[in-house]
Amino acid sequence: MMNDPSTKYPAFPQVPMTDRQWPGNTLTKPPIWCSVDLRDGNQALIEPMGSERKLRMFDLLVGIGFKQIEIGFPAASQTDFDFVRQLIEEGRVPEDVTLQVLTQARRPLIERTFEALKGAPSAILHLYNSTSELQRRVVFGLDKAGVKQIAVDGAEIVAEYAAKQTDTRWQFEYSPESFTGTELPYAVEVCDAVNEIWQPTPENPTILNVPATVEMSMPNVHADQIEWFLKNIKNRESVCLSLHPHNDRGCAVAATELGLLAGADRVEGTLFGNGERTGNVDLVTLALNLFTQGIDPKLDFSDIYEVMRTVEHCNQLPVHPRHPYAGELVFTAFSGSHQDAIKKGFSAMRKSNSPVWEVPYLPIDPADVGRSYEAVIRVNSQSGKGGVAFILERDHGLELPRRMQMEFSQVVQGISEETGKEVNATTIKEAFDQTFLNAQLPLEFIRHTSTQDDDDDDSLRTLTAIVMINGEKHEIKGQGNGPIDAFVHALKSFLDVDFRVVDYHQHATGAGADAQSACYFEIQAGKGATRYGAALHSNIVTASLKAVCSAFNRGVQDGLLEPTYPA
């Protein structure tokens, strides 16, 4: 039994607003993206990245299309410092990409940070200090004025060093760290004070980054905080409002989306949400959420596996198999009704001319993220006819009639229950062959020797066929209104057994010299149960007669038909 939380965890207060606009807004364009994988993500790793992994991550981020990349905290360690130098000195930063670095608001650290950036054509200098009531009290032991002074001093030092390093195009960023625990009027006051020093312009705005250093409330409250902040900050037109959500409550993506509705311009986050504790907001999910709402996110995740593999290598952390859009299992349906619906969805998409993606249970076309359809349907004991039929059709071009799908799915279900495992495509085809194509006892079709119009009746034909019955060759003869009907009559009279054909389907498989006819017959024993049979052959009549034999044998094997064999 858990303790009563009501005293220990007071509810987060609402933002006093009555005229909030964000609920009525819509997202129409992507934000400015900034990856902080190499800083916030890196500082949270069990084993932070060395130079090789940092370079791989950097190249990946550039390849995806990030134009702003926070590459480290150069004053914190020689590794971080050297990495900044390496990128600059080796000319590894594309012209349209801006490096961003983080520093505390302390002179020696700021000085070292500027030193690291020497020679960079452009850079974002990111200054932070914590402003929340808790951190003021517990960490800094300072009042509001004291903490604001840290920010102001830091901003002045930054401006001072930037003025000396004029060959770099600077943009400044300030974060009131722990913004979500900061009184909103005070957060605005500190940010205004920083901007008093930096004097931003609409052409070169200050990035005000308001982090959910710890996610403390529901996403709607976060959105209120953003809207309130933007309504009250001075010179809004000279501010680029940036979000930096963490995921402590598991709502970082939602908080970011609502924050964007509330007017934010920019988002800092990481690939797959690596970062302190439960991570930073996941930029992959955010970008692909936009994509699936028809908005080009301007980030390229068309090869999501490659992105995932590289990130797993760099972070030495796995991406969860159910991670949105990317995980190993997200384009896989195990359960029967899902498989059935997906199969029907694909089929409807093929027939339709509409470009609109409409496949049940698949919010994105796997191909858009470089995933194939292969993993879409997998079959286990929870699967139904849809999944089995999908695999037979996709991999072998076999379009089973609906009732036959039901019949055969029982066979596959049996295999799955017996083995307790997933049944793969090869096993499904083997089971199909075993059940239908190889069902050759007691009756095996060899060939039909002749069909001829009956002289007495225009509509009747006579067919002679050679069959093996329990391993012995026999010639049988029958009459009917076509070769199949004649063959059925021949069997019925030769083996003294009662059955009739109740369903018949045929289609072509393969093309050219490999083309075959696939035939499916359902026969009914007397007035009783039915069984399907199937056969493949280059000749459509042969395929049909073999399929009749297949259904007949299954009826005999299951005790539905009791033939009288020739002595």
In the annotated binding site for Mg(2+), the residues are 40, 244, 246, 280
| Interface mask toward ligand ACO for 176-195; x: CB under 6 A | -x------------------
Picked from Mg ion, ligand ACO, ligand KIV, none, the partner binding residue 43 (CB below 5 to 8 A depending on kind) is: ligand ACO
Annotated binding site: 40, 244, 246, 280
Q: What are phi and psi of 306, to 5 degrees?
A: -65, -45
**Rounded least distance, CB 40 to ligand ACO, Å:** 6
If one asks whether residue 211 binds ligand KIV (CB under 6 A), the answer comes out as: yes
* Residue among 40 and 522 whose Cβ is closer to Mg ion: 40
Cα–Cα–Cα angle for 272, 278, 284, rounded to 5 degrees: 15
Residue 128 touching ligand KIV (CB under 6 A): yes
Least distance in angstroms from the C-beta of 180 to ligand ACO = 12
Q: 280 vs 544, which CB is nearer to ligand KIV? A: 280
DSSP, collapsed to helix, strand or coil, labels residue 134 as: helix
In the block, tokens 């609502």 appear at 258
Q: CA 386 to CA 442: how far, in whole Å?
A: 31
User: Which residue's CB is nearer to ligand ACO, number 155 or number 359?
Assistant: 155
Q: Which residue's CB is nearer to ligand ACO, number 139 or number 529?
A: 139
Q: Are strands 239-245 and 206-212 parallel, antiparallel or unpaired?
A: parallel
Considering the complex, what minimum distance in angstroms separates the CB of residue 278 from Mg ion? 11
Nearest-5° angle of CA 320, CA 97, CA 199?
Answer: 110
Which among 56, 31, 69 is positioned nearest to 306, based on CA atoms? 56
- The footprint of ligand ACO on this chain (CB under 6 A) covers a number of residues equal to 16
Q: Is 213 in the site for ligand ACO (CB under 6 A)?
A: yes
Q: Does 40 bind ligand KIV (CB under 6 A)?
A: yes
CB of 279 to ligand ACO, least distance (A): 12
Closer of 195 and 213 to ligand KIV (Cβ): 213
Query: In angstroms, what is the minimal distance from the CB of 137 to Mg ion?
Result: 21
Q: Which of 561, 500, 517, 555 is nearest to 533 (CA)?
A: 555
**283, 289 contact by CB (below 8 A):** no
Of 528, 540, 521, 538, the residue nearest 443 (C-alpha): 521
**175: partner contacted, choices ligand KIV, Mg ion, ligand ACO, none (Cβ within 5-8 A by kind):** ligand KIV
Q: Which does 209 bind (CB under 5 to 8 A by kind): ligand KIV, Mg ion, ligand ACO, none?
A: ligand KIV
Scanning residues 167 to 186, which ones bind ligand KIV (CB under 6 A)?
175, 177
Smallest CA-to-CA distance from 409 within 377, 452, 376, 453 is with: 377
Q: What is the 3-state secondary structure (H, E, C) of 160-190?
A: HHHHHCCCCEEEEEEEEECHHHCCHHHHHHH
CB of residue 217 to Mg ion, shortest distance in Å: 17
Which of ligand ACO, Mg ion, ligand KIV, none binds 240 (CB below 5-8 Å, type-dependent)? Answer: none
Candidate list 32, 45, 62, 76; residue touching ligand ACO; CB under 6 A: 76
Q: How many residues bind ligand KIV (CB under 6 A)?
A: 10
CB of 417 to ligand ACO, least distance (A): 51
Q: Please tell me whether residue 105 binds ligand ACO under the rule CB under 6 A.
A: yes
Could you say which DSSP state residue 433 is in?
I
* Whole-number Å distance between alpha carbons of 193 and 85: 32
Sites for ligand ACO among residues 15-74 (CB under 6 A): 40, 43, 73
- Residue closer to ligand ACO, measured from CB, 213 or 381: 213
According to DSSP, the residues that pair with 451 across neighbouring strands are: 463
**Distance of alpha carbon 178 from alpha carbon 174, whole angstroms:** 12
Of 135 and 544, nearer to ligand KIV (C-beta) is 135
Q: Is residue 209 part of the contact set for ligand KIV (CB under 6 A)?
A: yes
With contact defined as beta carbons under 8 Å apart, do 219 and 243 qualify? Answer: no
Closest CA to 523 of 494, 495, 492: 492
CA-nearest of 258, 226, 228 to 242 is 226
Q: What region, left, alpha or beta, does residue 338 occupy, with left being phi > 0 and alpha being psi -120 to 50 degrees?
A: alpha
Q: Which of 129, 209, 280, 517 binds ligand ACO (CB under 6 A)?
A: 129
| Shortest distance in whole angstroms from residue 179 CB to ligand KIV | 7
Q: Are 100 and 94 in contact (CB under 8 A)?
A: no
Can residue 104 be called a binding residue for ligand ACO (CB under 6 A)?
A: yes
Query: Contact between 213 and ligand KIV (CB under 6 A)?
Result: yes
Which residue blocks in 269-371 are alpha helix, DSSP H?
Answer: 283-291, 304-315, 336-351
Residues that bind ligand ACO (CB under 6 A): 40, 43, 73, 75-76, 104-106, 109, 128-129, 139-140, 150, 177, 213
Residues that bind ligand KIV (CB under 6 A): 40, 102, 128, 175, 177, 209, 211, 213, 244, 246
